[in-house]
Amino acid sequence: MSKPSRRILILVGHPDPAPDRFCRALAEAYAQGAIAGGHEIRRADIGTMDIPLLESQAAFQVDDVTPLIRDLRADILWADHLVLVFPLWLGGVPAKLKAALEQVFRGGFGFEVGPKGWNSKLSGRSARMVLTMGMPSAIFRLVFGSHGLKAVTQGIFMLAGVKPTRASIVGGVEAIGPGGRSRWLERMADLGAAAS
């Protein structure tokens, strides 16, 4: 028996809009696999967006977003599976992606924290993080504790009720060569087909 079709939002978090970035190739492979698997997809690309910075706690607490962020929120609400593809920069997500996440989650969009804990608003959704980096993935996990990934998976998605959140960590991306890149693209297509 085949798995039911899912609605998938693929968000490319690389701030450089150049089409030859490996993050975009990974996202495209996932998208093509998802389409072949009978799933519906929507795409968003941080590199092509104008994202304003939040500069105060007061601004973060107010739900005053641009039409672009409103559309991105609508895509998140439409989806039942979120795919976020981004490079590790200085141990975390690139600043433009962080700014976009702050804009999306401002004003209590995904969760609200009160005296009795948090109220999750995106329950029922799952996520896949696809993270590229120059260092080997084992070093990222063992030495750095995957902190750049946990900032999103636990600091945002867990609070919003998104689970499970799985990760694909592409380490040593500059050194894996064409064969390694091809294997990763095949893996992404398989994950897309499975909507995992």
pLDDT tens for each residue of the chain, 196 residues long: 567 899 999 999 999 999 999 999 999 999 999 999 999 999 999 999 999 999 999 999 999 999 999 999 999 999 999 999 999 999 999 999 999 999 999 999 999 888 887 789 999 999 999 999 999 998 898 888 888 899 999 999 999 999 999 999 999 999 999 999 999 999 999 999 999 9
Segment holding 44, helix H or strand E: strand 40-45
63 CB-near residues (< 8 Å, 6+ apart): 106, 107, 108, 109
Global pTM reads: 0.94
Nearest residue to 99 via CA among 153, 152, 156, 51 = 51
pLDDT score of 69:
97
Tokens 């260092």: give the residue.
135
Tokens 């063992």: give the residue.
142
Q: What is the CA 115 to chain-centroid distance, rounded?
A: 29
Segment holding 10, helix H or strand E: strand 7-12
CA-based radius of gyration for the chain: 16
pLDDT score of 115:
84
67 CB-near residues (< 8 Å, 6+ apart): none
Tokens 């693209």: give the residue.
185
Tokens of 57: 């706690």
89 DSSP 8-state letter: B
d(CA 184, CA 16) in angstroms, rounded, equals 21
Cβ 5 vs Cβ 40: under 8 Å: yes
